[in-house]
Structure 1
Amino acid sequence: MSAPSAPVKAFLRTERGTRIDCLFNPAELTITKSNTWNASENKGGNAPELRFQAGQPGTLTLSLTLDTTAKGEDVTNHTNKLLDLLKVDPALAGSDRQRNKARPPWVEFHWGKLHSFKAIVERLQIKFTFFASDGMPLRAKADLALKQYKDEAERPLQNPTSHTPTLHTVHRLGFGETLDRVAAQHYGDPTRWRLIAEANSVVDPFALEPGSLLVIPELPVRRRG
C-alpha cells in the first residue's frame, strides 16, 4: 500500500507573480459579502420597499500560524513578506511617478483546487508568540483580511475545473474513506459520489490517496417544469 500523500499547501500569489507559501494551512476561512439597499418612503405602510443600489466588495479573512522553531530560523523572514503586501509598488500597472500615483499589489489565495478573487490586503495583524533565548522571534500568528479588488464574475472561493461560480466545500480524504462514504456524509446519499468525482476530475475513484483534498460541489437545483 502506498504511503499517504502530503497535504496540499496553501499560498498567496501576488500581482507580480511572487508566491508566498503558508507554513501551515489555515484551520478556517471566513467569507463576508454585503449589498447596499435603500428604502423608499411608503406613507401609510408598515414597511418601505427596498431598492437595490450596489454590491459591496467581498472579504476573505484567515489566520496563519508561522512557526520556524524546528529550523531555528527568524520567523520575520516570513512575516516581512506579508508586510510587504501593504507597501506601495510604483512598478505596478496604473502607477504614475509624476503624479505620485501608486498602490500596493493585489493578491490571490490558493489552496489546492480553491482560488480566491483578486484582493488587496485590507488589514494585517501579526502577533509574535515565541522567542529564542537571544530574542529572535520563532513563532507568530498573522490575521489577514483580504478585500475584493474589483468586480469579477467569480465567487470568493471557486473550483475552476467545474466552470461554474458555485461556492464549494472542501473535504480532506481520510484513511479508508471512499467517494460513496464522502457523498453520504455531505449529501446524505452515497449514490451522489459521481458529482464529487466529476468536480475533481477523478478517473479512478479507487486510486485516491488519503490526505487528498476533494471539492464537494453543491447539489444542482431542481427546477419545476
Structure 2
Amino acid sequence: MASPSDSKAFLETEGKERIPCLFNPAELSLQLRNSWASDPMPGGVTPTLRYTGAGTGMLRLTLFFDTTDTGSAVTTYTAKLVGLLEVDSKLPGTKASSNNARPQWVVFHWGDFHSFKAVVASVDLTFEYFSSSGTPLRARAGLVLAQYQEDMAFGPQNPTSGTPRPHRVHRVQPGETLDRIAALHLGDATSWRVIAQANGVEDPLSVKPGTLLAIPGSA
C-alpha cells in the first residue's frame, strides 16, 4: 500500500474536479473541539462545565507551487484555490430569490488520508519568486478547511468523523417527565419519543433524576 509520501496530494471538489498539489505538504494541522460553558458560582467555588455542543473541525495545511522549470505562471494553479472561495450558482439548493448560494465543498486526499467534506475558510497566498518579466513562478498557499458535514472520515479505517452533530444535554430533575423535557427543548411535548429513541429509553416512566439525556436537533 502506498504511503502518503509516495502519493501526490490533491483536492477533489464538489463538482468532481481534481486540483493537484505540485508538492505534498510538510505537515497537516487538525483541530477537533467541543464547546463547554459554565455558570458563575458564589464563594469562589469552581463551577462544573456544561457541554453545549460539538465544534467545527478545522484542517490547516500549506501548499507549495513552483513552475520555474516551465516558466509558466504559477497562478494557473493558485487561481483554482482562490476560485474555491467563490459562490457557485450551479450547486444544488441554490435559490436566487432568497439569496441562498454558497461556494462548493472539497475533500483533501493524500495517500490513505481523506478529509471530511470541507469548505475553504481562507487562502493565505504569498508569491515568492518572479521571472525577469514579472511572471509569478513560485507561491506558498496557507489553506484553512472548515468541516462542512459529518459524513466524511479521516482515513479508510475510521468509521466516524470525530465531530458528532451538535446537541444539547439535559440532566433530569426530580419530578420531570420526558414529555415535559420535550416541551422545554423541542417546543412539542409529543416529541418525547424522539428523545427516548435517541437515548435508548424503553420505558419513559423509568428515567431517574440525574440522568443525562441527549436532546436531538436542539442545537
Q: Tell me, in whole angstroms, the C-alpha distance in 2 between the residues paired with 1:36 and 1:120.
A: 21
Alpha-carbon contact 1:8-1:111 (below 8 Å) kept: yes
CA pair 137-147 structure 1, distance change in 2 beyond 3 A: same
**2:155 maps to amino acid:** N
CA pair 121-37 structure 1, distance change in 2 beyond 3 A: same
CA pair 153-44 structure 1, distance change in 2 beyond 3 A: farther
Residue of structure 1 in register with 2:26 after alignment: 27
Q: What is the Cα deviation at residue 14 of structure 1? A: 0.5
Residue of structure 2 in register with 1:40 after alignment: 39
The secondary structure found in structure 2 opposite 1:17 is coil
**1:124 maps to amino acid:** V
Residue of structure 2 in register with 1:72 after alignment: 71
CA pair 152-48 structure 1, distance change in 2 beyond 3 A: farther
Residue of structure 2 in register with 1:62 after alignment: 61
Q: What is the Cα deviation at residue 41 of structure 1? A: 4.1
Q: Where in structure 2 are the equivalents of 1:1-225 lying within 5 Å?
A: 7-44=6-43, 46-152=45-151, 154=153, 158-160=154-156, 162-165=157-160
Query: Which is higher, the Rg of structure 1 or of structure 2?
Result: 2
Aligned length: 158
Alpha-carbon contact 2:32-2:58 (below 8 Å) kept: yes
Q: Tell me, in whole angstroms, the C-alpha distance in 1 between the residues paired with 2:100 and 2:161.
A: 37
Q: What is the Cα deviation at residue 166 of structure 1? A: 8.6
Q: CA RMSD in A?
A: 1.9
For structure 1, which runs of at least 5 residues remain unmatched after alignment?
1-5, 168-225
Alpha-carbon contact 1:57-1:150 (below 8 Å) kept: no
Q: Tell me, in whole angstroms, the C-alpha distance in 2 between the residues paired with 1:108 and 1:32.
A: 16
CA pair 103-164 structure 1, distance change in 2 beyond 3 A: closer
CA offsets 1:164-191 (integer angstroms, 9 cap, x no match)? 4499xxxxxxxxxxxxxxxxxxxxxxxx
CA pair 69-126 structure 1, distance change in 2 beyond 3 A: same
What TM-score, normalized by structure 2, do the two folds share?
A: 0.68
Provide the identity percentage.
Answer: 46
Alpha-carbon contact 1:42-1:49 (below 8 Å) kept: no
